[in-house]
Structures are given as C-alpha cells and as structure tokens.
Amino acid sequence: MHIHILGICGTFMGGIALLARAAGHRVTGCDANVYPPMSTQLEAQGIGLIEGYDPGQADLAADVNVIGNAISRGNPLLEAILDRGLPYVSGPQWLAENVLQGKWVVAVAGTHGKTTTTAILAWLLDQAGLNPGFLVGGVPVDFGVSARLSDSQFFVIEADEYDTAFCDKRSKFVHYRPRTAILNNLEFDHADIFPDLAAIETQFHHLVRTVPRAGRIIMNGAQESLDRVIERGLWSEIERFGGAGGWQVGIPEADGECAFSLDGRELGRVVLPLAGAHNRLNALAAVAAARHVGVAPSQAIESLAAFGGIKRRLELRGTVRGVAVFDDFAHHPTAIAATLEGLRQRVGSHRILALLEPRSNTMKLGVMKSRLPQSLVQADRVWCYAANLGWDARDALAPVIQKTSVLDRIEDIVAEVAREARAGDQIVVMSNGGFGGIHEKLLAALAS
C-alpha cells in the first residue's frame, strides 16, 4: 500500500511514517517546515520527502493520504484531495486501526513531560525484555528513532491532547484506548484550540472513559485539575504518584541517589541521569506504569541509571572554549522554569544564558506572557527572539529586563551571546521549533 503523509516532519506524523514503513508500506510525505531531528531521521530510513504542499502531489495516486493536524482547510494539497474525492484519514485513526488494534497500549498523557516519560517507559520495558513497540514525540537516544514496530503485545505511546485533524477536533489520545494510562499533569495550554482549562479537562475525561475496568490509571496526586477529571467518573484501577501517599521519589542524597517508594515501602535507589524534580516525577510515573505491565519496580529502577535521554530535551549540542550549548524543547512557562531549575541543579554556580523563542501557538497569542519573568528566574542572562510576536516582549519581560535582551534578528542574538559568553557558561536554547538553526550558528560564532 502507498501511504502519503501530509505534515510528515511533525514528531507524531514522522513516527507514523516509520511505523508504516516497518509494516511494509511504501511511504512518502510532504511538509513545509523541514528541520532535524525528524527530517534526518526520515531520510535515513529511506522515506521520500517533498517540500511544500503542491496540489500536484494528488497525482501520486496514494492508496490513502494520512493528514497531520497541522494541515488546515485552505491547504492546496488538502483541497485537491477533497475535490477529487481521494481517500484520507487522520494520523491517530490510521495508527489505531493499523498498529494499536489488539495491543496492550500504555499511554502517557499530560501537559508536560510526555515525551520524556514515554521514552523512559519504552526503555524500562525494553530492558525487561518485553520488546515494546513505541511512538515518542521526540527521538530517544537509546533507540535512535522516534517510533518502532515490534511483535510485542505492548505498545508505548505519547498521548497528546492536541486535536486530531481538520476533520476530527477531538484530542488525539481518544483514539488510543489504553490499558495503562499515565496522567502526568494538567494545566492550560494550546490556547489556539482550547478556550480554558475546563475544556482540556473534558478531553482528559474522555480519555479516562476509554480505560477498561482491568486497566489502570497512574495519576499525579498533586494536581487539582486531574482530581476534577477523576471526579467526573472512574471505571478502572487507579494509583497516584507525587502527592501524599502512593508512589514517591525522594530528592537526591549526597551521593546523588534517589529513593523510590510505594506506600512508604522503599523499592530501590538510583542516580538518575536526568536533572530536575520534574524528571524525578517522570521517572516515578514510568516505574509505576511498568509495574502494571509486569516489570518489577526494583528492575525498572535499576534500568533508569542507563537511560540515555531524548534529543532536544536538554541535549548538549557542543562545547566550545569551555562554553556549553544545550538544546531544549521548553516553550511553556512551566517547562521553561523546570528546564532552568534542572540545569541549575546540575551546574551549580556557573552562569546560565537562556535563549528563548516564544514560538508555540499559545505563546504567540500572549496567553502566558505574564508568567515568563518568573519562569526565567534561574537564568543569569536572557535573550528573547521577538520577531513575529503579536505582543510586546519588552513590556512582558519588564520585571527581568535588567538581565534580558529582546531582539528581532537571530544574527544579533548570536553576535551578542558570542561576545558575552565566557568559559564555564551554560547556554540553553529553548524553542519548540528549529529557531533558525541558532545552535550551530552559536557554536560557529563561539569558535571564531
């Protein structure tokens, strides 16, 4: 079967492409915004990429067109597909019907930490010999790909609350029907499609309704929003982590070890390779979910020590003249604060230089702008890329303007950072996009 994927370089749709290719299908795809790591991953797998959405691609005569949720009405290729009555389906629906059917699906939902927790969980199951299939919204270092098809009964998936497609405005995760579901956290995001937090809670409630009686929900016990979701109905088992009682993880001891426990009983200790309290909770949730599918907590905790991380999650891109440059996907104020706090714990008194691109739809709308100053507390110096924003970044960042530069050109940011950086500095670039290739530009400028 020939599958043509619209929006193939999105992390989710790129994963669909890998799974379809592994299942023996011929896969092609197109996108208007191609950048690593997804573009290079697809090319390495021999999947043909077409730049743009020329309606002539309808002549490829694909057996089915799989439509990504970034594709809207008015897209020239989508309009050609509709006008000609060509077969199409959303990515989540294709996945549910062609990959997840009959599997024990382990889904990771939440506003933050989905990618990291999904990658950890896939790693724990893999180390236990369960050989899970998976689809992660990033590229785990240990696997080298964002998605894998296997003959295992288990499939681990990042369960996104963003809408499914132009023709299906439900959250993606309602298609997955998990037997094990992690609800990592829940706060307001995606202001372009959700009017308020209550609307997102409704979608999470729809997910909860799909978990069978013999299934299990692993829920953050310190989130009032998730409490409200569960109060609307619960038909399966539930375990809580991170709140009072239930699953707990301690802060690192002097030797760096963290103790994991359940109902007050210690289960094991490990030095986590990921920094920050948020990543301790991500690991804790993954251990709890792994237990539901049969992995002993002691074994899972031991496996955490060798987890290699995920590309674009505080990923070290290079060190030049003693200056380290990290890449991170953080774009929501909560995630920005967590990233910087985790880095601060790792580097101590070394200076942190934070480069921020407010690129997500929520950030572009300015919904979270008042929270930005507080999220940047741990940074010693801040640069904000303000091109194409619909709000005044200088005004929003006024409380921290003494340490902040707001610039409209990436070249100017690179020049300033390279001029100010000194040995020992930690530069962290935060964006959910490619940020104009600023990472390599910084490394080159530092070297020169």
102-304 and 2-90 share a CATH fold: no
Which amino acids are annotated as binding site, given as ranges?
110-116
Question: What count of other Cβ atoms lies within 10 Å of the Cβ of residue 234?
Answer: 15
pLDDT mean over 250-275? 91
Binning pLDDT at 50, 70 and 90, where does residue 37 land? Answer: low
CATH class as words, domain 315-447: alpha beta
The pLDDT of residue 202: 96
Contact 21, 82 (CB under 8 A): no
Q: Note the pLDDT tens digit of each residue in 187-215.
A: 988 878 889 999 999 999 999 999 999 99
Q: With contact defined as beta carbons under 8 Å apart, do 21 and 41 qualify?
A: no
Map tokens 């499609």 to a residue: 193
Q: Which of 80-94, 116-130, 148-162, 380-394 has the lowest mean pLDDT?
A: 380-394
Q: pLDDT exceeding 70 applies to what percent of the chain? A: 99
pLDDT tops 80 at residue 236: yes
- DSSP character for 172? G
| pLDDT above 90 for 168 | yes
Residue range 141-163: mean pLDDT, rounded: 94
Binding residues for ATP: 110-116
Percent of the chain residues topping a pLDDT of 90: 74
Each domain of the chain, given as residue ranges in start order, spans 2-90, 102-304, 315-447
* Burial category of 419 from C-beta neighbours within 10 Å (exposed 0-12, middle 13-18, buried 19 and up): exposed
Decide yes or no: CATH 3.40.1190.10 for domain 102-304.
yes
Integer Cα distance of 195 and 414 in angstroms = 36
Cis peptide before 333 (omega within 30 of 0): no
Question: CB–CB of 176/160 below 8 Å?
Answer: no
Instruction: Quote the CA–CA distance of 1 and 158 in Å, as a whole number.
Output: 26
Which residues, in sequence order, are CB contacts of 348 under 8 Å at separation 6+? Answer: none
Q: How confident is the model at residue 310 (pLDDT cuts 50, 70, 90)?
A: confident
Range from 81-85, 195-199, 345-349, 424-428 carrying the lowest mean pLDDT: 345-349
Tell me the mean pLDDT in the region 414-418.
Answer: 94
What pLDDT band is residue 36 in, cutting at 50, 70 and 90? low
Handedness of CA 279, 284, 286, 287 (dihedral sign): positive
Query: What sign does the CA torsion over 139, 141, 142, 145 have?
Result: positive
pLDDT of residue 35: 65
CA-to-CA separations, 236 to 102, 103, 212, in angstroms, rounded: 19, 18, 6
Residues 157 and 121: their CA atoms lie apart, in Å, by: 9
Greatest distance between any 2 Cα atoms in the chain: 66
Reading the block at residue 220, the tokens are 């953050």
Q: Which amino acid is at 316?
A: L
- For residue 139, what pLDDT is reported? 86
Spatial CA neighbour of 155 closest among 188, 133, 177, 180:
133
CB under 8 Å, gap of 24 or more: what pairs does 219-226 form? 219/182, 219/183, 220/110, 220/183, 220/184, 220/185, 220/186, 220/281, 220/285, 221/245, 221/246, 223/183, 223/185, 223/186, 225/186, 225/187, 225/197, 225/201, 226/183, 226/185, 226/186
Among the four given CATH numbers 3.40.50.300, 3.40.30.10, 3.40.50.720, 3.65.10.10, the one describing domain 2-90: 3.40.50.720
pLDDT of 351-369, one tens digit each? 999 999 988 877 877 888 8
DSSP 265: E
Which pLDDT value is given to residue 397? 93
Digit-coded pLDDT (tens) for 2-35: 999 999 988 899 999 999 999 999 999 999 976 6
The stretch 46-63 carries a mean pLDDT of: 93
Interval 138-155 mean pLDDT = 92
- Predicted pLDDT at 191: 77
Cβ proximity of 354 and 430 under 8 Å = yes
pLDDT of 269 higher than 90: yes
DSSP 284-350: HHHHHHHHHTT--HHHHHHHHTT---BTTSSEEEEEETTEEEEEE---SHHHHHHHHHHHHHHHTTS
Query: Could you tell me where the DSSP H helices lie in 45-128?
Result: 76-83, 91-95, 114-127
Over the stretch 76-106, which tens digit does the pLDDT of each residue have?
999 999 999 999 999 999 999 999 999 999 9
- Per-residue pLDDT tens digits for 376-413: 999 999 999 988 888 899 999 999 999 999 999 999 99
